[in-house]
Amino acid sequence: MFPQLKVPAEAPEAIGVDVKPSRLLSFTVLLAAGLLLFELAFFAFKGGGKPFQVATFIGLPITYSAIAAILRKSRRFVGYGPAFFSYAVVAIALLLMWLLDKFPAQWLGLDAKSPPAMALGKVFDAVLLILTVTVLTRLFGVGLPSVFLQKGRLKLGLTIGFAGFSAMAAFGAFEARDMGVSMSRLIGWAPWLLMFVLANGFFEELMVRGLFLKKFEPLVGPHLANIVTALVFTIGHAGVTYTADVLTFMAITLVFALIWGYIMQKTGALWGSALFHAGADVVIIIGIFAGVKI
């Protein structure tokens, strides 16, 4: 982006040469920015009162969009621009989800806590995210391949994805017995269960990893990029209420998050990790539908 000049190693800033921030600084900035975005949104969705929700869901898009715009004009920190553009995209998508959160259930007259309402709500959120990503990336000339929305190594991705989904879904069905869920009840939930986990797997892989991995790699490298997204994803689950052992759950989540990021990087698309992720959600969603902790 800028011409490479030979400068004294001891004081490159003194003559106005672009200095790439250290990986440690970049790692810290990206981690902090991700945690701020996702944690504030998490607590706002969970409650906190209307003023807090308004401040969060209006303030986050404005803040991250402003930072992204400023970074585009910064010579030294321009490399952060794509990452903060993705943060802004997520913030805008979260605003739309907050504004329209209850629309599917209300429109169809469903109990918000019923499996059909939860499944349709998750599909609706996924559609909002896809539309936001598609519109904003096209508007600002950012290619969809940069967020892993491409064919990639499709055969490998689907092979890994379906294998992971099958193994994890089988585990979830086996665990359903210990939750007091009968086979007939599980079969009755099956359409809504599949709809929810497939939508959520795609939704979370795009929102937490797809939008960020390629943006982070020039700043911290592929391995640290995967670690940053995995940490943000894992810490974002610290407040969940559907498990009795949050620490163990977070440790398992971190391992899966690193695996899913690695799959996405190696296949060049999000299909494999999204399917694998969907399978891992089966046991969780069975517990949520049943109203028990896993």
Distance CA 93, CA 133 (A): 8
Instruction: Give me the sign of the Cα torsion angle 89, 92, 94, 96.
Output: negative
Nearest Cα residue to 30 out of 203, 229, 185, 188:
229
Residues whose CB falls within 8 Å of the CB of residue 52, separated by 6 or more in sequence, listed in order: 43, 44
Report yes or no on 1 lying in a domain: no
Distance CA 48, CA 37 (A): 16
Report yes or no on 142 lying in a domain: yes
* Burial environment of residue 47 by CB neighbours within 10 A (0 to 12, 13 to 18, 19 or more): exposed
pLDDT at 216: 98
- Which pLDDT tens digit goes with each residue over 99-154? 998 888 889 899 989 999 999 999 999 999 999 999 999 999 999 999 999 999 99
Burial 204-232 (b: 16+ CB within 10 A, else e): bbbbbbbbbbbbbeebbebebbbbbbbbb
pLDDT at 103: 87
Whether 184 and 168 have beta carbons less than 8 Å apart is answered as no
- Which pLDDT tens digit goes with each residue over 84-99? 999 999 999 999 999 9
Report yes or no on 7 lying in a domain: no
Mean residue pLDDT of the chain comes to 92
Tell the residue number behind the tokens 């055969």, with chain if given: 155
Say how many Å lie between the first and final Cα of the chain, rounded. Answer: 50
Report yes or no on 4 lying in a domain: no
Distance CA 122, CA 127 (A): 9
- Which pLDDT tens digit goes with each residue over 247-284? 999 999 999 999 999 999 999 999 999 999 999 999 99
Distance CA 272, CA 277 (A): 8
Nearest Cα residue to 23 out of 258, 262, 228, 229:
228
Nearest Cα residue to 64 out of 76, 48, 80, 52:
80
Report yes or no on 140 lying in a domain: yes
Q: Residue 179, Cβ neighbours under 10 Å: how many?
A: 17
Nearest Cα residue to 38 out of 246, 286, 232:
232
pLDDT at 20: 64
Range of the domain at 51: 20-290
Report yes or no on 15 lying in a domain: no
Distance CA 231, CA 23 (A): 16
- Which pLDDT tens digit goes with each residue over 201-233? 999 999 999 999 999 999 999 999 999 999 999
What mean pLDDT comes out for the span 53-58? Answer: 97
What mean pLDDT comes out for the span 242-249? Answer: 93
Whether 123 and 130 have beta carbons less than 8 Å apart is answered as no
Q: Which two tokens stand for residue 197?
A: 């986990």
What mean pLDDT comes out for the span 8-12? Answer: 39
Distance CA 223, CA 162 (A): 25
Report yes or no on 9 lying in a domain: no
Nearest Cα residue to 86 out of 152, 45, 30, 27:
30
- For the entire predicted model, the pTM comes to 0.91
**Number of C-alpha atoms within 13 angstroms, CB side, residue 105?**
16
Please state the domain count of the chain.
Answer: 1
Which is higher by pLDDT, 229 or 9?
A: 229
pLDDT at 7: 35
Percentage of the chain modeled with pLDDT above 70: 93
pLDDT confidence band for 5 (50 / 70 / 90): very low
